Chain A
Amino acid sequence: MSGWHRFANPTRFSRLSARILPWALALTIVLFAVGLYLALVGSPPDARQKDTVRIMYIHVPAAWMALATYVLMAVFSGMGFIWKHPLADIAAKNCAPIGASFTLLALITGALWGAPMWGTWWEWGDARLTSFLILFFLYLGYMALWQVFEDPEKAARAAAILALVGLINIPVIHFSVQWWNTLHQPASVFRRGGPTIDPAMLWPLFVMLFAFKAYFVSVLLLRIRAEVAERRVRALQMMQAEA
């Protein structure tokens, strides 16, 4: 744990992240450029879904990242809750808007994919769709809790409890397509027996997934650095008022 705590020092983190950020941003741009080319030009249309399958290259990475970001947010929240480390709380707080944007994107692209394929934009009786909408509300609730309390420590504790309780929704989302009859198709990549997707579509999907991951790292670092600087500004303002 001592290694983690060393990097959790805000000053050391700001210095380290300033060095990593340009590389992370450059990697994001390169991966998106390659991924978009493969998704829109380099990959074939699906035999049954035709060209609508191209929505998958946005929808699936956004949905995977929405789930992964929530888990990471809960892990950071738990670390902040146990060790009361401000940087863990800051990381958790800044995961939320990124995760919410991934969730919103997955919901929008899901509706845009569902309309031509299922004949409906939305189906309230579908467990995958409704549990994913709950994930979006969990993100919004988490962000709202941070705004309710003036004391950042109290806000962090309350938000952490919500993040940890909300974790129960993650396996529900994942297994919803197995537990209930849904319009949404079952898992076709991370499943027992290997992926059912043709490699010509699987590779562009993975490139886009890594583009989303690099984007997440870049934006999270940007937001954590901004929050650390804002807290420093507040401390400086107090010092100035006392001087």
Chain B
Amino acid sequence: MQWEYAAYIWSSYAAAAVILTGVAAVSILRLRRALRVQAALEAKLDQLRSGDEA
């Protein structure tokens, strides 16, 4: 596209892409990690409890 001031326009859209995808990606990774650790701890506690009962 032969836009006037193309560098300013593309820089704006690039900034939006970096900031918005960056925040979303960090949030997704944080959730995945928290859910993984939570599942591992719950499994470990269940194991400890079943060991106590035995």
Contact = CB atoms under 8 A, between A and B. Distances in A.
Interface of A: 36, 40, 45, 50-52, 54-55, 58-59, 62, 97-98, 101, 104-105, 108-109, 112-113, 115-116, 215, 218-219, 222-223, 225-227, 229-230, 232-233, 236-237, 239-240, 243
A3 B20 CA distance: 32
A51 B23 contact: no
The 5 A-B residue pairs with the shortest CB-CB distance in the complex, in nearest-first order: A229-B34, A51-B3, A226-B31, A236-B41, A222-B27
Contacts, number: 98
B50 interface: no
Interface residues of B, number: 31
A98 B23 contact: yes
Nearest to B24: A219
B34 A226 contact: yes
B45 A240 contact: yes
Contacts of A229: 31, 34-35, 37-38
Interface string B5-21: 11011011101100110
A36 B17 CA distance: 11
B34 A109 contact: no
Contacts of A97: 23
Contacts of B11: 112
Contacts of A104: 19
**Interface of chain A: mostly helix, strand, loop or mixed:** helix
A170 to B, nearest CB: 22
A211 to B, nearest CB: 10
A101 B20 contact: yes
Most chain B beta-carbon neighbours within 10 Å: one of A58, A218, A227, A237: A58
20 contacts: A40-B1, A52-B8, A54-B9, A55-B8, A55-B9, A101-B20, A101-B23, A108-B15, A112-B12, A113-B12, A219-B23, A223-B27, A223-B30, A226-B34, A227-B34, A229-B35, A232-B38, A236-B38, A236-B45, A240-B44
Nearest to B39: A229
A172 B13 CA distance: 28
A105 B30 contact: no
B4 interface: yes
A172 B22 CA distance: 30
